[in-house]
Structure 1
Amino acid sequence: MSARDEVHAALRRAGYGVPGADRLLDRVEAAAVAYAAGRPVNETLLKAREAAADLFESEAGERRPMWRVVITDSESPTGIAPVCTATGDNDEHAKFDHIGRPMRDVEGVYGCCPDPVVETYSTVLAAYLVELLNADTEVSGKSSRAAADATHEPAQAGGAQ
């Protein structure tokens, strides 16, 4: 089975019809060809990416932060936020497990965490957006990789929607 066939099958399982899966794959292939040829893939996307980078720089302190799934007021991992890079006395993520051992709450949002925090109301959508944003950050090569060290690893969404 070719890679295209595998992706096509995955899109079908995700609910895309045959025509929709074909259109999406055709667009992805066209974008890959344009990228390989050194042409801008999508001017609107490039402009949106730069506008978002300006926002992230003012809110999170860097243009391409790594992202994580967070628990917001919904008490489920349905939100997304930049990875918190607070350290030392500024780090508010310390909590204790059920027997009193210290641990780090990587899914919580605290005063030390950078904005923006976005509620998606869906564990699936939150995980998907984190993967997209982090892939975009990695492709741009402009992220502070120190933000994703072992103590600040982006959390994975779990549970059913």
Structure 2
Amino acid sequence: MAIPDHIRQLRRLVGPETLLWIPGVNAVVVDESDRVLLHRRSEDRAWSVLSGILDPGEEPAAGVVREVLEETGVHVLPEAVTSVTVSPPVTHANGDRAQYLEICFRCRPLSGQARVNDDESIDVAWFAADELPALEERSLLRIRHALDRSQAWFTPARPGLTGIGQEVPEVAS
């Protein structure tokens, strides 16, 4: 996996053991035949939806367009945000620890031939939704949410808790 310059600079300052909170994007690219574009990651040889890290100040929709083009050579149009999730903490092969805010978009291909377009992928292919290769559950959920075409999915907040699991103080009425 290519490490963006801004992450490399942060790592020089905080080291690999610091858990970084990183905004990322995911793309479920769906063509007119409802086939899904997937890539096989070079780091672990697993099939996955397309994804990447946002650059500082980059709009998420622009970031997902850039990531899909970089990885597959396909130009896409983001049509909808389909889910917003948080990854579990990850320790990468180089020892870097991270956790990702994942904004997933359903995208429509506009042009380009799907191909391996960078060193992050070893294969790129279109799959019918009912003939997907073995995928991690997180990728399957992203695909289901994108194909569902309903409102964006997110983990509901539990009443009485803040996002970090602390009790919400009572407000005087």
Range of TM-score over shorter length: under 0.3
Name the TM-score, length of structure 2 as normaliser. 0.25
TM-score by length of 1: 0.26
Q: Could you say which structure has the greater relative contact order, defined with CA pairs below 8 angstroms and 6 or more residues apart?
A: 2
Structure with more of its chain in strand, by fraction: 2
Structure that is richer in helix per residue: 1
User: Which protein shows a greater Rg?
Assistant: 1
